[in-house]
């Protein structure tokens, strides 16, 4: 049911698919003006970053906004009267996110290949990055939606999304941020972006996966503790 509701929402699909595609095409076209400081071509650097952005768009922003308004309209209150725990609700929503992310990866991956992307994928690394990244951002999204009013959730989720897009090392590598690179790489956006880039180069990104796992545990625990049904 969560998957059906998500796929019926055109605004969330815009955020999940169209905006990452625009970022990919725009960044590739503007890459000659960027100093990525990488031995790889711009498309090989940017496509994994946009895949990470797609995960963040769906698992954090879309989830937080949708859940915030479900809470406002009383949907979650009705679910709260059923034998449904907070963890079960979060699990259902995360499962729906994974279904949408498969669609995102297919679309963005095909566009990336058409633009010249040539990855040397570590399948294990990519899967772990997606699962842990989804868990981390879903926990934070549910925490935001379960503690703030719907309007505040809408504003906060979009603000955080834009800040992380611009300065969270998700699309561009951490090295592109100079001295801030060591700081932003500890953010969930930076860890996910670096994990996707490393996995698409054929390696398993151990450090970044541990950071994502820590964010996933902390975010899920906080959401389970402070999430309010109404």
Q: Are 144 and 157 in contact (CB under 8 A)?
A: yes
d(Cα 108, Cα 20) in Å, to the nearest integer? 8
Handedness of CA 125, 127, 132, 133 (dihedral sign): positive
Tokens representing 113?
Answer: 């290949």
Helix axes 188-199, 42-56, angle to 10 degrees: 130
pTM: 0.86
In the chain, which ranges are continuous DSSP H helix? Answer: 2-8, 10-13, 19-30, 42-56, 63-72, 75-80, 86-114, 123-145, 150-167, 181-184, 188-199, 206-226
Tokens representing 209?
Answer: 């996966």
Tokens representing 228?
Answer: 């309010």
What's 96's DSSP letter? H
Distance between first and last Cα of the chain: 21
d(Cα 85, Cα 68) in Å, to the nearest integer? 17
In 115-175, which ranges are continuous DSSP H helix? Answer: 123-145, 150-167
Q: What is the full per-residue pLDDT of the chain (230 aa) written as tens digits?
A: 777 776 676 666 666 777 888 888 887 777 666 555 554 557 888 899 999 999 998 889 888 888 888 788 777 777 667 677 767 776 777 788 888 888 889 989 999 898 888 888 899 999 999 999 999 999 899 899 888 888 899 899 989 999 998 888 898 888 888 888 888 999 999 999 999 999 999 899 999 999 999 999 999 899 888 887 77
């Amino acid at each position: 049911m969560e998957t059906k509701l998500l796929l019926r929402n055109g605004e969330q699909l815009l955020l999940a698919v169209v905006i990452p595609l625009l970022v990919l095409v725009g960044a590739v076209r503007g890459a000659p003006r960027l100093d990525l400081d990488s031995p790889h071509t711009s498309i090989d650097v940017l496509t994994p970053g946009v895949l990470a952005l797609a995960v963040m768009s769906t698992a954090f922003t879309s989830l937080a906004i949708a859940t915030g308004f479900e809470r406002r309209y009383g949907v979650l209150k009705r679910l709260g009267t059923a034998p449904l725990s907070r963890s079960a609700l979060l699990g259902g929503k995360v499962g729906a996110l994974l279904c949408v992310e498969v669609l995102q990866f297919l679309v963005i991956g095909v566009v990336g290949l058409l633009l010249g992307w040539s990855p040397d994928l570590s399948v294990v690394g990519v899967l772990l990055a997606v699962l842990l990244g989804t868990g981390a951002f879903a926990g934070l999204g549910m925490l935001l939606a379960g503690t703030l009013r719907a309007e505040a959730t809408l504003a906060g989720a979009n603000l955080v999304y834009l800040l992380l897009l611009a300065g969270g090392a998700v699309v561009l590598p951490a090295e592109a941020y100079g001295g801030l690179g060591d700081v932003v790489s500890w953010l969930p956006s930076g860890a996910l972006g670096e994990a996707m880039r490393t996995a698409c180069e054929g390696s398993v990104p151990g450090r970044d996966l541990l950071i994502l796992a820590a964010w996933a545990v902390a975010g899920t625990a906080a959401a389970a503790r402070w999430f309010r049904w109404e």
